[in-house]
Amino acid sequence: MKNFTLYLILAIVSTSFSQNASEKKLLKKAKELGITKEDLPGFLRIEANKTKHNITPKQSYSLAFKKGSINSVQSTSSTCGNLDFEDGNFNGWSAFDGTNVNSLALPTGVTPASNISTSGINAGAANPCIVDSANSFDPTLSMSIVSPYSKKTIARVNHIGNGARAGILERQIAITAANNMLNFSYFTILEQPNHPLSGQPCLNINCYDASNNAIPGTSLNITVLTGTINPGFIPLGSFYYKPWTPVTIDLTAYIGQTITIQFIAEDCVYGGHSGYSYIDLDCNGGSTSTPNVWPGDCNYDLSVNYLDLFYIGAGYGQTGVSRSILGIPWSPLASAEWSTRSLYLVNSKHADCDGDGTVAFNDLSAILFNYGQNHPFKLQNATHLVAGTTNDIPLAINATADTVVANQNFVLSFNLGNGISSVDSIYGLGFKMNYPSAMLNSSITSIDASTSVIDNTSGLLQIKHISTSNIDMAICKSNHANTTNVLGNAFSLNLKAAPTITATTAFTFNIPEIKAITKSGSLISLSPISKTVVFKASGISGINENSEIVNVNCFPNPAKDKFSITFNSGILRNYDVVITNLLGATVLTFNNVQQENNSFDIRLLNTGVYFVNVLVDKKTIALKKLIVE
C-alpha cells in the first residue's frame, strides 16, 4: 500500500519528469530515505532544483542586507534595550523568513519576516512570535514552557507547522567590558522524520563579529537524529523536545565590537515535518573585572552541585592553558579561554577545577570541597528541570530490607527501566534524594557502581554529598561514548542504620530532583519510583540487634552451583535465607536453615549479581553480595 501511495503521488506531482529510469531512481531513493506522503512533493522539488541551490556561507542577514529590523526604535522600558523581549515586542531585533534546503547550512530565499506576532499569545502561524507568561504553554507538547530566567517573556522562532519554512531572528549586541558575556537559553521542538541530517528539522545558533564573520566555537546545530548530533531528545508522540538549555559565551576578545546573535529554526527540507524553538536572553552580561572561573562550578551556572560532574565527564581528558593560580579554593581565578568545550558551549576551562591544564579525575575534589557554594554572575541559575511525561523511563528504588534495626547494614539500588522499556542512550545520571540523617550512620554511606549497567569499569566518575535532609549523588562516564539500551542497576547505595533509633519510623526514600544526560548533554526523561523502609526503635524484642552478626561470608564467591555461609561470631541456628536480584525481586528462598546444613543450591540462577539476605523472625540481620557465574 505504501509503494502504491508513493507511485500515485509521484504521478501527480512529477509532471516535469519523464516516465523513465530517472523517475524510478528517484522513487527508489525516496523509499530508501523514508520519504512520506507529506514529504514527497518537497523531495521531488529539491531533487529537481539541486543544481540551483548555492549553499550560502554562514552570515548575519541583518548585516548583509542592511534591512529587516522589526522596529528601528530602541526600547526604553527594558533594562537592557529589550534584549530579553521584556517590552513584549521585537524592538531592536530583526526577523526573516526563508526556505530550508539543507539543515546543515543556511536557508535560501531569505526575506524580511511578514507575519510577526507580539500579542503574547502563542500564535502558530506567526514568525517570530512573542509569548508572555500568561501564555507560556506549547500547543504541540501540551506543556509549560515558562522561561528559566527571572523574567518570563520569550520569543518563538519559526511557525508551528510544516512546509520547509525557516524562521530567523537576529540581534546586534555591543560588547563592552561590563557586558562581555552572552547568556541565553533555548527550548527546541522538532518532529522526527526518517531523513538524513541534511534533511532534519533543526535549530541553528550562530554568532558573528562586526565584519559578518562567524565567531569560532560559538555555533550549535541541533537535530534529533539519534547517535550523531545531540541524541537523547525527550519523545512525545511524533515530536521530540529539548527542554530549556542554558548557554554562556565569553566574548571578552570582542570588547569594542558589535556582534550578532542568530537563531534559525527550520522545518524538514521536504516540508512534511515541523521544527521550531523558543529562546530567551539574560540581560546581565557579566564583567571582566571579576574572573569567571570558580573551582567546582564546572557548568558555570553560579553554583556547585551534582550537575557539575557531567561537565567533567563530557570534557574528560581535554587539555588547555593551565591557570597561574592552582588549587581549588572558592574564589574567582583568572583563566585563559581553552579551544575546547564540554557541553552546550561551556568552555572546558571551567571543568579543569584544579587549574593544572587537564580535565581529569582530580577535578572531582573541587565539587565536593565547594559543594553548595554560589557566586554572582548572572541574574539567576538557568538550570531547568522539566516535569515528566507519559514516556518517562522509570528509575525504581529497591531495598534489600523493608525493615531495619539499629546498626543494621542495608542497600538501596537504583534501577533503570521496567523490564520492557530501556534507556536508549545515557552518559550520566544524577539526583537529589531525601536522607534521614538521624536514622543513618553517614560515615558508612557509600556508592557502589561495580555492577552498573551504565559502566562497570574504573572509568565511571561518581560523587555524593550529604546534607541534613538530602543526599546528592551522580555518576558519569568519561570515555566520550554513550551506553545504549540500558536496563537494570545504575548503581547502589550502601547504608547502615544509626547505633540508636529512638522511635519506629517509616521513612520514604524519594527523589524530588533528577537529571540524566547523553554524551551531548541532552536530557533523558526519567520517572523516579520511591521506596519506604521502616526503621525499628532500639530495644524492641523479637530480633537480634547485635551489629556484629551482620558480618557474614559467602563462599565460594563468585559461585557456580552452590555456596555456603559462615558467620564471624558463633553459630546461628534456625534462620532463613532469601536471595534477591538487583531489582529487589526474590529469586530463591531457603527456610529454617541449620548451621550444619547451610549449603545452598543455586543452579537455577542465571549469571549475575545477587544479594543474600539472612533473616531471623522474618527480619534481615545479615546481608552479602553474591556473584553467580
Query: What average pLDDT score do residues 586-606 get?
Result: 82
* 61-282 and 547-628, same CATH topology: no
Query: What average pLDDT score do residues 609-629 get?
Result: 77
CB 569 within 8 A of CB 621: no
Cα distances from 214 to residues 117, 208, 218, 550, in angstroms, run 29, 4, 8, 64
Three-state secondary-structure class, residue 149: coil
pLDDT in tens, 219-249: 777 777 644 434 446 778 888 888 787 777 8
Lowest pLDDT segment from 22-31, 155-164, 203-212, 552-561: 22-31
Query: What average pLDDT score do residues 556-562 get?
Result: 89
- What is the radius of gyration, based on Cα positions, of the chain? 29
Between 259 and 505, where is the model more confident?
A: 259
Partners of 117 in the β-ladder: 129
DSSP output for 44-101? HHHHHTGGG-PPPPS--HHHHHS--BS-SSPPSSSTTTTTTSTTSS-TTEEEEEEE-S
Cα 404 from Cα 619, distance rounded (Å):
8
For residue 175, give the C-alpha cell.
560588547
Q: Binning pLDDT at 50, 70 and 90, where does residue 13 land?
A: very low
Sequence-separated (6 or more) residues with CB below 8 Å from residue 162:
38, 191, 267, 268, 271, 272, 273, 274
**Range 393-535: architecture per CATH:** Sandwich (2.60)
Percent of the chain topping pLDDT 90:
33
Partners of 527 in the β-ladder: 394
The pLDDT score that the predictor gives to residue 90 is 93
Cα 244 from Cα 264, distance rounded (Å):
16
Query: What average pLDDT score do residues 536-550 get?
Result: 49
The pLDDT score that the predictor gives to residue 626 is 84
CA quadruple 296, 300, 306, 312: dihedral sign: negative
Mean pLDDT over the full length of the chain: 79
How many separate helices (H) and strands (E) can be counted in the chain? 6, 37
Query: What average pLDDT score do residues 467-472 get?
Result: 91
Query: 176 pLDDT exceeds 70?
Result: yes
Domain residue spans of the chain: 2-52, 61-282, 296-381, 393-535, 547-628
Chain centre to alpha carbon of residue 235: 13
User: Tell me, which fold does domain 61-282 have in CATH?
Assistant: Jelly Rolls (2.60.120)
- The b-or-e profile of 557-566 (16+ CB within 10 A means b, else e) is eebeeebebe
Lowest pLDDT segment from 30-34, 175-179, 269-273: 30-34
For residue 495, give the C-alpha cell.
547504608
pLDDT in tens, 36-48: 766 666 666 666 6
Query: 10 pLDDT exceeds 50?
Result: no
pLDDT in tens, 438-458: 899 988 999 999 889 999 777
Residue 312 phi/psi, 5-degree rounding, is -70, -45
Q: Is 576 exposed, middle or buried (0-12, 13-18, 19+ CB in 10 A)?
A: middle
Between 373 and 56, where is the model more confident?
A: 373
Q: Is the peptide bond before 128 cis (omega within 30 degrees of 0)?
A: yes
Cα 111 from Cα 95, distance rounded (Å):
9
Cα 468 from Cα 78, distance rounded (Å):
41
| pTM for this prediction | 0.50
**Range 547-628: architecture per CATH:** Sandwich (2.60)
